[in-house]
Chain A
Amino acid sequence: EAGVAQSPRYKIIEKRQSVAFWCNPISGHATLYWYQQILGQGPKLLIQFQNNGVVDDSQLPKDRFSAERLKGVDSTLKIQPAKLEDSAVYLCASSGLTGRRFEAFFGQGTRLTVV
Chain B
Amino acid sequence: RKEVEQDPGPFNVPEGATVAFNCTYSNSASQSFFWYRQDCRKEPKLLMSVYSSGNEDGRFTAQLNRASQYISLLIRDSKLSDSATYLCVVSNTGNQFYFGTGTSLTVIP
Tell me if B101 and A103 are in contact (CB < 8 A): no
**Which residues on the B side are within 8 Å of A33 (C-beta)?**
97
Q: How far is the CB of A51 from chain B (nearest CB, A)?
A: 12
Q: Number of residue pairs across A and B with beta carbons under 8 Å?
A: 57
Q: State the interface size on chain A (CB cutoff 8 A).
A: 26
Q: A56-B94, A102-B91, A103-B49 are in contact. Are A43 and B42 (CB under 8 A)?
A: no
**Which residues on the B side are within 8 Å of A108 (C-beta)?**
42-43
Instruction: Judge if A42 is at the interface, Cβ distance under 8 Å.
Output: yes
Main secondary structure of the interface of A (DSSP, over half): strand
Specify which of B43, B97, B101 is in contact with A41 (CB 8 Å cutoff): B101
Tell me if B98 and A109 are in contact (CB < 8 A): no
Tell me if B101 and A101 are in contact (CB < 8 A): no
Q: State the interface size on chain B (CB cutoff 8 A).
A: 25
In chain A, what residue has the closest Cβ to B104?
A40
Instruction: Judge if A48 is at the interface, Cβ distance under 8 Å.
Output: yes
Tell me if B95 and A106 are in contact (CB < 8 A): no
B residues near A (Cβ < 8 Å) are 4, 6, 8, 31-32, 34, 41-46, 49, 87, 89, 91, 94-102
CB-CB nearest 6 A-B residue pairs: A42-B99, A106-B43, A42-B101, A101-B32, A43-B99, A104-B97
